[in-house]
Amino acid sequence: MGTPVERTLPRAQWLALAEEHSESVDRLTAGHRERRQRGERHPVEDFLFEYYRHRPTHLRRWHPGAGTALADAADVYGGRPGYVVDEEGTARLDIDSVVERRGRALGFVHGLLGATLSRPATHDCFGLHEWAMVYRLAPGEQRHEQLPLRLSQEETDAVVERNRVRCSHFDAYRFFTPDAVGRNSLRPTREDQVAFEQPGCLHAGMDLYKWCFKLAPAVPSGLTLAAFELAREIRELDMAASPYDLSDVGIAPVAIETPAGKAEYVERQRGFTARSNALRRRLLDVLDDLSARAGTRSSPSAATLGA
């Protein structure tokens, strides 16, 4: 492999790209920001900012990623964490600093993505994790108390009992009710996440957004935004297939308690699996490129990217 090439964007070009990115984020987050000012909640869009703890203002920051230098950028990128500016005012990713500070995280994500891509997708969970989170709860105990159930509590419990629960994602499994924990055929843990992650999991698909923004500024913002858009679509299916009635926010149910609902869920899940895997490969390419560039600069932490 040869030395990675760097391109330099003139000021007018990178400013236009940054502005285009910010405008895209503003369009996608307008509803969330307006509802927040009114004190209103939304079960899909709020999740992406509250659970993942990444603000719209952070999402709208544009990062070019490794291998792209920005001419005449000292006034914007000078002093910004993760960047260096040379004597001519050209800014670029501070690869040494990023790898030194984030080496373990970069290595973990690289290993997780590779392991996930190596496995076949499972498409028979039917979103039952959300049902397991309300299984046998008393009134007032459910996480989304502002959302009514589509069925009675007894009927909701019966759906869990009639179906095999097979959740492979720890960050969903950890919210199961005590009575539902034993019904899961798997026992995912935080420590075993790499061993359990599989590409059909909706939550693993949403988490691609998390990995992108957590590895900023090493990840180009275009990839982070694509992961955000996918996560928003996945979250809508996640909640549509849940036991909650979301008609007030215009989300029709995917009634997974019926054969037709299960078929619809699987069809949409397969589409998300393909899109998630495409983003996984793109993110792996970013990490491999970063590793190659760190290696050419003889960074002492370069080897951690492939750990």
pTM exceeds 0.85: yes
| CA–CA dist 97, 118 (Å, integer) | 31
Q: What digits encode the pLDDT tens for the residues 227-273?
A: 999 999 999 999 999 999 999 889 999 999 999 999 999 999 999 99
**Residue 239: what pLDDT?**
95
- Of 75-79, 142-146, 273-277, the poorest mean pLDDT is in 142-146
Q: Which amino acid is at 259?
A: P
Higher pLDDT, 242 or 298: 242
Nearest one of 267, 247, 251 to 259, comparing CA atoms? 267
pLDDT-above-70 percentage for the chain:
94
Question: Who's near 179: CB < 8 A, 6+ residues apart?
Answer: 135, 136
Sheet of strand 7-9, all strands in order from the earlier edge strand to the far edge: 7-9, 68-70, 91-93, 83-85
Q: What digits encode the pLDDT tens for the residues 57-104?
A: 999 999 999 999 999 999 999 999 999 999 999 999 999 999 999 999
